[in-house]
Structure 1
């Protein structure tokens, strides 16, 4: 044991002595020009190191540098700048005065991905033909760099003409082998307009054919969003996929997509093209898709005694940047989307079997198919959305079949005063694709019908029967059980928040009705008049005949939270009595005239 310890101690002394001698014999500044030359030769980027290089021996033989920057050709700002840079080097190549860097560590770096930091083509630079063969594969500019670490840094990202985003606490670890197969991990956070986002990424990247091809696997990307204009519980989830990039054609594709967002889950695949015209093809499937947990526009149910958290709104900026349809990325994109979802929750509605087949042609979006089931009913809403003009144009042709009315009213934040099943065929148009805009500014017409319709806390037959009983005791009827209206149909017109009903016809047990009216969704008022015909009366034949044949007008009007009613049964009966009295008077007059005529005839016939 003593011999082993003595041997190890001797070896340690030899290694330390050798490294110390190497440090004394080799000046790291001798490699400065070599590093600058290699970086520029392999990538075209300019490397600047402002301070002298110095050795760091323990625990890893390294070269320490102060401020450094890496600038793309023709760029006005560096792509990467850092306060500290450490190069971990291999020992044996130094014996022959060669530099082999095993790891690069940048600390407190600033990475700029902006128009100012991107490479610029020289004004007089020659351009080859578009159909020329692509350049040979680049060997990369890592020059034997196996590991790259970026710690406690900042990423500034900005698209041309877009907003600037600062990703803080940027940490990157990348390792690559001799075959250019890299393992990557990344974490960062973003804060903007009172919104927070955190990202944690792990993946693999095959850069053996870079820049012509890249392929890789995003093993896991965990994200979390919170703050203003985001649901109170936030949005959390993960993403994984396999992807490939074709640099020559500027095309990409991905498969085995698995995306989770709160309790929603999507799978699928897609492909696209970055070069103009940009293209994107998506084929997605969802087992569950809860939009209410992802959107802030969902109505919150009012439960007595329960307090609901309020979604924080984005701050008011003194001079906000005006956005228009011209800013939409859809104007430069050709999109084809296919989506199938087994279960979807939208504004409290539980949809099943949702199928979406949509396309976008540089701002003209077409909903070829938007269909599904709601309860025992079904729906289909094809249409188009045009954002090629400053004002959005929306055109939809909804078709509903036996859709439950009460949940639908709740979803659109309307009084839940009707029960039954609704069928509808219509055409709607507007200038903004939101529920609030649809209730305020859309226009359209539709043919509607409903079955098993009931008015909440309102029995039409019973109202008429009790009103007749108060006016006259000559007729009676067995008090009806509220079985609603078996079927009703009519025409509906929507004009800037006002729904107008016309040609309303319906029937139920011992009930027939006709009518018209309107509902103002903006002012929350209505004015509807129904002519009710009730059968099943007993008593005075004349009154029974009158009540069975003549409609009794029921008017409902005023604020829909405190409706007023008008049911003038006495006027109907009074009109009937007046009509009967007038008829009897006319009969008496006719008899009198007939008697006088007979007397005159007798006088003429008398000899």
Structure 2
């Protein structure tokens, strides 16, 4: 039995060897040169040029080897493809019947140019062709394809260590180290595996992709099932070391309507994961309908610069570059290039120590004007909502928002913003805001608008206004004594102000505040958002907390006392000029006593006129002295 098996194997080996020898002796691979070139031109319109002689390669696969090859469009300045060599893996026995069945095409070290110089008559002809949805024409096209079945079959195409040069207007993008494999799984269904990288200006983008493509109805329709798209991006301008993530989903392309739709789309950036869907139409002006959701988005790593990386960067001296590109003053000009509808839903957003929850954004873009139908999120134990617009049609950048802020806890807010502060309470505001830049470092300075602000259950720490005024008053009269209130803060049941934004400052036009023991009847000033300082002047009435004679307290409660609070948020100072106010108050009291004394003297009947005149002169002198 074993002997029979060995004999059978030996016979098979001999037949194979005889077949290979016969192939080399009787079949010249150069006979297929014209056939291969003619077939490529018939199917694509492009001209394939093969330099040198074709030759056989026996092991481990029967193959035809070529020297350099070129694929060119008619009348194009540069070829679309140039390669050092090409290998065609073929089936052995069909060759004796003059049939070329290619299992695999392998191209090494190719340079693929997709530029204006590589476009010729074939490209222009295809661009001028209009798609047709006529059923009879589609049937005719299918019949032509069926009638053009030929002996050349291809199961796999491989491109190794190659480069693609892609031109986008005047810009060139180089795709390097490309390794591509296209495998035919069934009739017009293929699998694509590709990896490579893009290097440009000390930036590197590397990728690995795997997809199944259904071309059954191509070119009218194509379905791409993207199984995997892993990427890594590194660059000197990145605040983080690298960006890496993946993308997967099903993409459906409709040629007649120029439409892309997605299904089961998911992607990630570092440790941030998203899901969503999009519907894009490119028929005339691009229209994009996008929905993105995420449970948590952490932007902190993208805001922290790698100090070590920055230290190792060598600044290179380069000559100045003169650009002939017209400067665009409107940073929103890109909105004119497409229309869109977008919805964003993020459950949690981390920006350093700042945490935003339940972010919901809905917007539309139509003819260069984006409308924010809704922007809302929870922040610092409160809620912020806004509507507005961004105009890309004007000469300059213009963004307008109508915000409504509800019950933001100031202590939580300043802690998350890592800003020292002495004011606590629940912050509420409404109004309108305008911004004329998208630059982060100029954003606060560019803010303009009007706001109506209310702070409830407020506490001004490190300053007790009642104690300051009452202790100052005790220096001018013994009718009152210092208060026993030793609290190191001032409480307000409500603070309200009208303000406008100007060059990074919140200018307060009116200021009113009320507490059980004091009232701010008028005030104005400035709060610096960029410098984190303030300078506010207030007129205050102390309503309670006085200790002393009731008639003196009654007068003190009517006093309007000027108070100035100024300095950095973390180190506030005050300025109080109570001396003149108290002096005027008690001068009025002495003046009343003097008036009574004058009346008493005038009513007294005196027989001695000279003595009466002397008393009157004394009274006048006393009055002049007290009035100084």
Q: Which residue of 2 aligns with 1:399?
A: 404
Q: Does the 8 A contact of 2:209 with 2:228 survive in 1?
A: yes
- Which among 492, 495, 500 is matched to residue 502 of structure 2? 495
Classify 1:541/1:242 alpha carbon distance in 2 versus 1 (closer, same or farther; 3 Å).
same
- Structure 2 unmatched ranges of 5 or more: 610-628
Q: Which residue of 1 aligns with 2:220?
A: 212
Classify 1:79/1:582 alpha carbon distance in 2 versus 1 (closer, same or farther; 3 Å).
farther
Q: Does the 8 A contact of 1:65 with 1:84 survive in 2?
A: yes
- Which among 535, 538, 541 is matched to residue 547 of structure 2? 538
Q: Which residue of 1 aligns with 2:44?
A: 43
Q: Which residue of 2 aligns with 1:229?
A: 237
Separation in 2, partners of 1:363, 1:452:
44
- Which among 574, 579, 583 is matched to residue 574 of structure 1? 583
- Structure 1 unmatched ranges of 5 or more: 301-306, 601-607
- Which among 305, 321, 342 is matched to residue 337 of structure 1? 342
Give the match's secondary structure for 1:397: strand
Alignment deviations for residues 220-259 of structure 1 (CA, whole Å, 9 cap, x no partner):
2112223233232432221111111111221111111111
Separation in 1, partners of 2:125, 2:275:
48
Separation in 1, partners of 2:573, 2:258:
67
User: How far 1:111 sits from its partner (Å)?
Assistant: 2.4
User: How far 1:424 sits from its partner (Å)?
Assistant: 0.9
Q: Which residue of 1 aligns with 2:566?
A: 557
Q: Does the 8 A contact of 1:229 with 1:311 survive in 2?
A: no
User: How far 1:575 sits from its partner (Å)?
Assistant: 3.1
Classify 1:595/1:244 alpha carbon distance in 2 versus 1 (closer, same or farther; 3 Å).
farther
Separation in 2, partners of 1:2, 1:80:
54
Q: Which residue of 2 aligns with 1:361?
A: 366
Q: Which residue of 2 aligns with 1:605?
A: none
User: How far 1:467 sits from its partner (Å)?
Assistant: 4.2
Separation in 1, partners of 2:364, 2:123:
39
Q: Does the 8 A contact of 2:380 with 2:412 survive in 1?
A: no
Q: In the alignment, does 2:511 pair up with 1:504?
A: yes
Give the match's secondary structure for 1:550: coil
User: How far 1:374 sits from its partner (Å)?
Assistant: 1.8
Separation in 2, partners of 1:397, 1:567:
38
Higher helix proportion, which one? 2
Q: Normalising to structure 1: TM-score of the pair?
A: 0.87
Q: Does the 8 A contact of 1:182 with 1:204 survive in 2?
A: yes
Q: In the alignment, does 2:327 pair up with 1:319?
A: no
Q: Does the 8 A contact of 2:380 with 2:410 survive in 1?
A: no
Q: Which residue of 2 aligns with 1:603?
A: none
Classify 1:97/1:533 alpha carbon distance in 2 versus 1 (closer, same or farther; 3 Å).
same
Alignment deviations for residues 313-364 of structure 1 (CA, whole Å, 9 cap, x no partner):
9988742866635996532211110122222224543222221111112321
User: How far 1:493 sits from its partner (Å)?
Assistant: 0.4
Alignment deviations for residues 529-566 of structure 1 (CA, whole Å, 9 cap, x no partner):
12333321111435433443324332133555665431
Q: In the alignment, does 2:432 pair up with 1:423?
A: no
Give the match's secondary structure for 1:106: strand
Q: Does the 8 A contact of 1:182 with 1:205 survive in 2?
A: yes
Q: Which residue of 2 aligns with 1:78?
A: 79
Q: Normalising to structure 2: TM-score of the pair?
A: 0.84
Q: Which residue of 2 aligns with 1:24?
A: 25
Q: In the alignment, does 2:202 pair up with 1:197?
A: no
Separation in 2, partners of 1:74, 1:247:
28
Alignment deviations for residues 408-435 of structure 1 (CA, whole Å, 9 cap, x no partner):
4566675544332211111111211344
Alignment deviations for residues 136-161 of structure 1 (CA, whole Å, 9 cap, x no partner):
36969995221111111222233224
Pairs within 5 Å for 1:237-316: 237-293=245-301, 295-296=302-303
Which sits farther off after the overlay, 341-350 or 193-202? 341-350
Classify 1:502/1:181 alpha carbon distance in 2 versus 1 (closer, same or farther; 3 Å).
same
Structure number with larger C-alpha Rg: 2
Separation in 2, partners of 1:411, 1:519:
19
Q: Which residue of 2 aligns with 1:15?
A: 16
Q: Does the 8 A contact of 1:114 with 1:158 survive in 2?
A: yes
Q: Name the Cα RMSD after superposition.
A: 3.4
Which sits farther off after the overlay, 471-480 or 365-374? 471-480
